[in-house]
Amino acid sequence: MIELIQRASKHADRQAIFSNENSYLYKDLLKRSSQIASKLLNGKLDLNGDRIAFIIDPSFEYVAVQWAIWRAGGVAVPLCTKHPLPSLEYVIDDTQAKALIYVDNYSSLIAPLLNKTTGIKEESIRDVQSDLPDVDPLRNAMILYTSGTTGKPKGVVSTHQNIEAQIKMLVTAWEWSPEDRILNVLPLHHVHGIINVVSCAMWSGASCRFQPKFDEASIFDVFKSGKINLFMAVPTIYYKLINFWKAASPEEQKIITRALNKFRLMVSGSAALPISTLEEWKNISGQVLLERYGMTEMGMAISNPYDGERVPGSIGFALQGMQVRLVNEEGKVIKDGSPGEIQVQGPNVFKEYWEKPEATKDSFVEGWFKTGDMAVELNGRYRILGRNSVDIIKSGGHKISALEIEEVIRKSPVVKDCGVVGIPDEEWGEIVVAGLVLNQDFEALPETFEPWLKEQLPNFQWPREYLLLDDLPRNVMGKVTKKELQKQFQNL
């Protein structure tokens, strides 16, 4: 039995979701997901693991469809609403999706896909009911696609048991309760939105509010209403909210700050949180953002404490139920504070890459999942150094953390944002380069910038080249796509 859905009946008359100016109770969610599940079964007893894709904006309808797929015995394949047609087609082909559920505003986008799979318009599903199967927790539940920085994106398969283990970890670690009310501004093809926000709220009997689109003014309006006490976002969103606050009148700033002071918890994730952003948000809101660490293949593995010190630049401690270790290039476990690759074991770690047994095998060593992320550890607390493929730059025998250089550059009043990468160099192996987005007061990099930076960094960390950009290349989660930034330097 799917415990997430079973628990909803305990909160039948509580508000589950607020979206599109409508309030929905848990019993509404159970009823609508049952109708959609019955439509998907269409006389069958069980979908038996059929992959069902869906493209729906974050909303009550989204959650109802996802639950319906699970309740019918299917595997949910959420599609990114911002991806172009070829990307959607790749997922449909790769999963051999038996059906694609969509809402009317995506009709024209997905029309070319309907010769590959059965299209079902969500609005067309009426009041149908049938018996639903009993779904074993060990069955596949969801396939999410990685960003595909190397080769084609891989489908990450999680079971119901994986998902439930992750939810339980986070509900315990972050002390969720039925009284919690969270605002979701994140896309729901990613664990940050699906699991950390929506599923944890639904498990707890809490309420989740969906924002139709990202808009700083309307988000602050929701905050000021007092109807929200939790918020989770990516660093880019906090950065935008900070800039909106700075542009507001002094009186409006005070109103916003008073509202933010009342929040129970604010979390940042999906990308490294610049210390400067953490400090500015603390000054504005009184909230020390809780930074945590995870990825598609395992959900969350490490988190700063809910109660206890949240150290800037740290991702915290292993979550209860997780085993975490650092391993050097020789495969030896590190315990002396030196940099190493994060490897994890736990009940939330994914089952496999969809139909890629070799890639699955290569991603594990002796049962430990190899994250590809580098960190250092001191007294159980981890500090991320970056992705070993793009954030760890190997130059002249040095292993250089791009994130550490970025943190220094962001302290400059000249720079609005930056991205540091390594590019191939015959003499050094790689050299450090930096893409810069300047503050609006600057049209060019002033002569004082480089001398200032050289005072802050050892010479082996100095960027050798700079590229001035209107914005850094990003994916739909707001994370800087460093492979793309590297290409921009190599194409100069």
Largest pairwise CA distance in the chain: 73
For residue 469, being part of any structural domain is answered with: yes
Query: CA–CA separation, 281 vs 86, rounded Å?
Result: 38
Q: What is the CATH number of the domain that holds 485?
A: 3.30.300.30
Query: CA–CA separation, 423 vs 378, rounded Å?
Result: 31
Q: How far is CA 2 from CA 72, 85, 138, 156, 401, in A?
A: 11, 33, 10, 20, 42
CA-wise closest residue to 184 among 8, 19, 5: 19
For residue 463, being part of any structural domain is answered with: yes
CB 301 within 8 A of CB 370: no
pLDDT for res 477: 72
Residue 93 tokens, joined: 């082909």
By three-state DSSP, how is residue 84 classified? Answer: coil
Residue type, 464: R
**At residue 487, what are phi and psi to the nearest 5 degrees?**
-60, -40
pLDDT for res 478: 77
pLDDT for res 148: 47
CA pseudo-torsion sign 476, 479, 484, 489:
positive
Sites in the chain below the pLDDT cut of 70: 147-151, 397, 427
pLDDT tens digits for 17-35? 999 999 999 999 999 999 9
Which 8-state DSSP code applies to residue 197? I
For residue 304, being part of any structural domain is answered with: no
Our count of domains for the chain comes to 1
pLDDT tens digits for 375-402? 999 999 999 887 777 788 888 767 788 8
Domain extent, residue 437, equals 392-490
CA-wise closest residue to 235 among 196, 191, 291: 291
For residue 418, being part of any structural domain is answered with: yes
- Please tell me the chain's helix, strand, coil percentages from 3-state DSSP, rounded to the nearest 5: 35, 30, 40
Give the angle 177-193-18 at the CA atoms, nearest 5°. Answer: 60
Query: CA–CA separation, 210 vs 198, rounded Å?
Result: 10
CB 303 within 8 A of CB 279: no
> Strand 99-102 to strand 392-395: parallel, antiparallel, or no bridges (unpaired)?
unpaired
For residue 265, being part of any structural domain is answered with: no
Write the CB contacts of 482 (distance below 8 Å, at least 6 apart in sequence).
387, 390, 391, 402, 419, 421
Q: How far is CA 378 from CA 58, 317, 370, 391, in A?
A: 39, 10, 20, 21
Q: Which secondary structure element, helix H or strand E, spans residue 86, and what is its range?
A: helix 85-95
CB 140 within 8 A of CB 49: yes
CA-wise closest residue to 173 among 282, 56, 48, 307: 307
For residue 464, being part of any structural domain is answered with: yes
Write the CB contacts of 454 (distance below 8 Å, at least 6 apart in sequence).
462
Q: Which secondary structure element, helix H or strand E, spans residue 184, and what is its range?
A: strand 181-184
For residue 148, being part of any structural domain is answered with: no
By three-state DSSP, how is residue 308 classified? Answer: coil
pLDDT tens digits for 153-212? 899 999 999 999 999 999 999 999 999 999 999 989 889 999 999 999 999 999 999 987
| Residue given tokens 């979206």 in the structure block | 19
- b/e sequence 425-459, b meaning 16+ C-beta within 10 Å: eeebebbbbbbbebeeeeeeeeeebeeebeeebee
Query: CA–CA separation, 465 vs 445, rounded Å?
Result: 12
Cα atoms in the Cβ-side hemisphere of radius 13 Å centred on 380: 9
For residue 399, being part of any structural domain is answered with: yes
pLDDT for res 149: 43
CB-CB neighbours of 414 under 10 Å:
17
Give bridge partners of residue 408 from the DSSP assignment: none
